[in-house]
């Protein structure tokens, strides 16, 4: 079996992103100095406090439809495979992996020194149980992701074989994400698993106050003693960017991300500021099963109504880049012809009006726009409303709780549309899988045979070059279905205090992890 090796310690960074970066202002001189962790002594009894916009929707990975839950999962759970700062895969719970039998199966060799926090051993049977639960649990958000998994075998105590029923080139990347998070099988039926995680991660949850804060303590028995550089981790929920900045400047936190308009104030307050590492894309999602967006011409009109660059400049102070696909421009699979400059996808209000008229809405049409209750989502939505109105799409807005957006829109099918921020890119297929039949995010079954064929082809091969034609075909077919349209790559500024010690090469991400991050005793 080909071996993939690396050190898992202070050099680990960026597990949730592929390294897309840009916009959001310049790195201050203080920020550059703060990256030199070697000049600072970490306090092993210190507390690291991160301020985010929400608490987790659940702490049960298999039930999580919210990509931002991964921030919390990275403390509680280990993943089978680790994604590093460059987007490359490295060992975590699995030390080796490879496709065998001409791609018909995927085999992993596991660490032999890992124990869950409930004392249960981690082994091949644990992996088998986790993948089977994620595949069969009625409430699982990953049935579609694991559709290519036919069966899982515990070949030996620390050897796992995943048998596939078709091409599965995205499986290694998938196992570095939420679905690769390993829960103690003994805790599967715990009634409080959603708020009391039982993993093998670097920290244990000790207090959880929904909507306010969750507190974690270092797992002293963790297999990688260099991972948890703080004794205590606290994650606070605060939706307002100015308040998050003030919490840092008054010593109530160490790290957060900000709205771009707050960057100058953060620098004036002496905070370190830099563009967040991000592969997250703002997009506009439709209920394609409900009038008026059941008509593809209306969905297309909505895309032509939006001036992406104006939103970036006017709302986010340049902290982003316009896109017409769900991959950032520096991603290996980016389609060079699917851009906002292409007249098929770009700003054209006259074309939007023509399409609405063709669809029978020449006098305009009303729709309900749901807005997740976060400052960046609200700012984007408020700027989009007059753009829609200009072409005849009249939005009635309703603000909803951000963590429950997916359930409100896709499960209960409330509203006609909403602006949302995509998960960090794991694999190109994960950005587009919602278009398949039977997906949580496609309850209206708006799909096509052409898209399904292209998605299948995107999974063929074991190299990026082999996969690229299929991935590009998948992106093109997505633009025909138009269940949503991408708006912009979002790279808001992150801010942190001088007592933060960052591992070498670490750039705070829009969805960060805390592996190797510590604080001084100052």
Quote the CA–CA distance of 201 and 224 in Å, as a whole number: 10
What is the per-residue pLDDT across 107-160, written as a single tens digit (0 to 9) for each?
Answer: 999 999 999 999 999 999 999 999 999 999 998 988 888 989 999 999 999 999
Instruction: Name the CA radius of gyration of the chain, rounded.
Output: 22
What is the per-residue pLDDT across 260-314, written as a single tens digit (0 to 9) for each?
Answer: 999 999 999 999 999 999 999 999 999 999 999 999 999 999 999 999 999 999 9
* Mode of pairing for the β-strands spanning 320-322 and 81-83: unpaired
Helix pair angle (375-391, 349-358), 10° resolution: 70
Query: Torsion angle, CA of 442/448/452/457, rounded to 10 degrees?
Result: -140
Taking each continuous run of H as one helix and of E as one strand, the counts in the chain are: 14, 21
Least confident of 12-16, 46-50, 333-337: 12-16
Domains of the chain and any CATH numbers: 20-55+210-274+494-522 (3.40.190.10), 62-187 (3.90.76.10), 281-490 (3.10.105.10)
What is the per-residue pLDDT across 459-484, written as a single tens digit (0 to 9) for each?
Answer: 998 788 999 999 999 999 999 999 99
Could you tell me which of 245, 254, 247, 266 has the C-alpha nearest to residue 27?
A: 266
pLDDT at 14 over 60: no
Quote the CA–CA distance of 99 and 105 in Å, as a whole number: 6
Quote the CA–CA distance of 522 and 520 in Å, as a whole number: 5
Quote the CA–CA distance of 500 and 519 in Å, as a whole number: 5
316, 493 contact by CB (below 8 A) = no
Ramachandran assignment for 23, one of left (phi > 0), alpha (psi -120 to 50 degrees), beta (any other): left
- Cα angle at 195 between 189 and 199, to 5 degrees? 65
- Mean pLDDT for the stretch of residues 250-258: 96
Helix pair angle (449-458, 464-481), 10° resolution: 160
CA separation, residue 230 to residues 15, 54, 175, 216, 508 (Å): 18, 22, 27, 10, 17
Q: How many residues does the chain have?
A: 522
CA 476 to chain centre: 22
183, 61 contact by CB (below 8 A) = yes
Is pTM, for the whole model, over 0.85? no
* Whole-number pLDDT of residue 522: 67
Backbone angles phi, psi at 377, to 5 degrees: -65, -40
61, 80 contact by CB (below 8 A) = no
């Amino acid at each position: 079996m080909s071996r993939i090796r690396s050190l898992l310690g202070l050099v680990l960074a960026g597990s949730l992103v592929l390294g897309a970066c840009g916009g959001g202002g310049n790195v201050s001189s203080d920020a550059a100095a703060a990256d030199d962790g070697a000049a600072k002594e970490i306090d092993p009894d210190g507390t690291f406090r991160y301020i985010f916009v929400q608490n987790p929707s659940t702490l049960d990975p298999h039930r999580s439809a919210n990509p931002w839950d991964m921030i919390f999962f990275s403390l509680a759970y280990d993943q089978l495979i680790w994604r590093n700062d460059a987007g490359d895969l490295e060992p975590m719970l699995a030390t080796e992996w490879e496709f065998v039998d001409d791609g018909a199966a995927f085999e992993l060799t596991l660490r032999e020194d890992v124990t869950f926090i409930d004392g249960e051993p981690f082994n091949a049977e644990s992996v088998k149980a986790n993948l089977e639960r994620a595949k069969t649990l009625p409430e699982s958000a990953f049935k579609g992701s694991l559709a290519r998994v036919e069966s899982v075998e515990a070949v030996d105590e620390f050897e796992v074989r995943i048998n596939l029923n078709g091409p599965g080139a995205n499986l290694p990347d998938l196992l570095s994400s939420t679905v690769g998070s390993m829960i103690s099988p003994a805790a599967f039926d715990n009634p409080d698993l959603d708020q009391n995680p039982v993993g093998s991660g670097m920290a244990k949850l000790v207090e959880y106050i929904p909507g306010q804060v969750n507190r974690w303590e270092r797992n002293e028995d963790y297999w990688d003693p260099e991972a948890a550089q703080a004794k205590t981790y606290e994650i606070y929920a605060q939706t307002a960017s100015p308040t998050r900045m003030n919490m840092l400047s008054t010593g109530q936190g160490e790290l957060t991300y900000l709205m771009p308009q707050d960057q100058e104030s953060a620098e004036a307050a002496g905070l370190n500021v830099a563009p967040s590492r991000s592969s997250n894309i703002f997009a506009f999602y439709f209920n394609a099963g409900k009038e008026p967006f059941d008509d593809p011409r209306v969905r297309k009109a909505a895309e032509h109504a939006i001036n992406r660059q104006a939103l970036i400049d006017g709302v986010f102070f340049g902290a982003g880049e316009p896109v017409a696909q769900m991959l950032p421009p520096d991603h290996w699979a980016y389609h060079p012809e699917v851009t906002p400059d292409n007249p098929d996808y770009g700003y054209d209000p006259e074309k939007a009006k023509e399409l609405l008229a063709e669809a029978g809405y020449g006098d305009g049409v009303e729709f309900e726009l749901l807005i997740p209750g976060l400052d960046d989502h609200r700012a984007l939505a408020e700027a989009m409303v007059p753009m829609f109105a200009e072409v005849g799409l009249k939005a009635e807005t309703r603000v909803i709780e951000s963590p429950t957006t997916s359930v409100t829109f896709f499960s209960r099918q409330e509203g006609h549309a909403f602006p949302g921020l995509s998960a960090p890119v794991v694999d190109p297929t994960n950005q587009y899988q919602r278009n398949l039949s039977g997906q949580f995010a496609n309850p209206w079954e708006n799909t096509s045979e052409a898209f399904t064929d292209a998605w299948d082809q995107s999974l063929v091969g074991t190299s990026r070059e082999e996969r690229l034609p299929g991935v590009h075909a998948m992106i093109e077919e997505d633009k025909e279905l138009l269940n949503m349209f991408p708006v912009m790559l979002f790279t808001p500024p992150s801010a942190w205090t001088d007592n933060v010690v960052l591992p070498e090469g670490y750039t705070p991400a829009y969805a960060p992890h805390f592996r190797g991050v510590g604080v001084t005793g100052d």
